[in-house]
């Protein structure tokens, strides 16, 4: 049975932090109790997505589809809409590879939702970057693992095991209806950030946010003028 809760993007101001935490994101789940420990999907070797890995794309009404290329074996996504949803058949970043999201619009703040629709955990082990005004979302109901050598520098960053509707995301507001999905996978999955991982947000308007019933984070988190 799917879990549905309304979630409003709010932040608690925080300096640069290095911390380890195990928590329930009650602001997102409305005070739901912790789920019993459930094993993550066994990882398969991560493969960087390409244009061929895209299942579908949606943008806001006046936008157009992104330009997705693979320069030097890396991933570059030129965003051409204020709000873009990309459903990937797998969204991973191998350790020595990079994914970049470029603002190809005239707007100063835009957002992209990268939804992994595979049955595997997303492994973000390499480099993730974006233009300063890009809010990068990664959503996977089967869990997200950030590796010890991961290095992220984005405008804003949202990692979530709970899903947001395309309509809410494309509307570009601050209220989202989050769901665990039809099989409830998102209500049992975890976000894990390994020691040594570095996450920096330096623009945009959403800060650094993780949404999951279980979060284990042991890394360096830096928000320049934003919240974490």
Residue range 181-191, pLDDT digits in tens: 655 555 679 99
Residue 135 φ then ψ, to 5°:
-90, 115
% the chain with pLDDT above 90? 66
**Residue 1 vs residue 150, higher pLDDT:** 150
Return the pLDDT at 172: 86
Instruction: Name residues whose C-beta falls within 8 Å of residue 47's C-beta, 6 or more positions apart in sequence.
Output: 90, 92, 94
Instruction: Return mean pLDDT, the chain.
Output: 82
pLDDT tens-digit map of 81-136: 999 999 999 999 999 999 999 999 999 999 999 999 999 999 999 999 999 999 99
Q: How confident is the model at residue 173 (pLDDT cuts 50, 70, 90)?
A: confident
Instruction: Say if residues 147 and 161 touch (Cβ distance below 8 Å).
Output: no
pLDDT of residue 9 exceeding 60: no
Return the pLDDT at 224: 77
163-164 sheet: strands from edge to edge: 4-8, 175-179, 163-164
- Tell me the C-alpha distance between 120 and 128, whole Å: 19
**Residue 50 vs residue 15, higher pLDDT:** 50
Instruction: Name residues whose C-beta falls within 8 Å of residue 130's C-beta, 6 or more positions apart in sequence.
Output: 100, 101, 102, 103, 136, 153, 154, 155
Return the pLDDT at 23: 32
Residue 8: burial class (beta carbons within 10 Å; 0-12, 13-18, 19+): exposed
pLDDT tens-digit map of 65-88: 999 999 999 999 999 999 999 999
pTM for this one?
A: 0.82
> Helices then strands (H, E): number in the chain?
2, 19
Return the pLDDT at 28: 41
Compute CA distances 36 → 33, 190, 194, 214, whole Å.
9, 11, 21, 10
Q: In order of start, what are the domains of the chain with their CATH numbers?
A: 4-32+47-217 (2.160.20)
């Amino acid at each position: 049975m799917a879990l549905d809760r309304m979630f409003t993007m709010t932040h608690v101001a925080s300096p640069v932090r290095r911390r380890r935490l195990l928590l329930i994101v009650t602001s997102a789940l409305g005070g739901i109790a912790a789920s019993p420990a459930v094993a993550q999907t066994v990882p398969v070797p991560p493969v960087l997505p390409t244009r061929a890995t895209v299942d579908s794309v949606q943008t806001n009404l006046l936008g157009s589809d992104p330009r997705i290329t693979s320069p030097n074996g890396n991933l570059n996504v030129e965003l051409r809409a204020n709000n873009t949803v990309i459903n990937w058949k797998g969204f991973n970043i191998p350790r020595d590879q990079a994914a970049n999201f470029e603002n190809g619009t005239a707007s100063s703040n835009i957002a992209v939702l990268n939804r992994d629709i595979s049955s595997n955990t997303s492994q973000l082990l390499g480099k993730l970057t974006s233009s300063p005004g890009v809010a990068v979302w990664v959503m996977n109901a089967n869990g997200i693992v950030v590796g010890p050598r991961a290095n992220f520098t984005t405008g804003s960053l949202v990692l979530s095991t709970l899903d947001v509707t395309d309509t809410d995301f494309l509307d570009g507001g601050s209220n989202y209806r989050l769901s665990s999905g039809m099989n409830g996978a998102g209500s049992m999955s975890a976000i894990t950030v390994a020691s040594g991982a570095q996450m920096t947000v330096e623009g945009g308007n959403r800060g650094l946010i993780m949404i999951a019933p279980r979060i284990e984070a042991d890394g360096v988190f830096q928000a320049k003028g934003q919240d974490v």
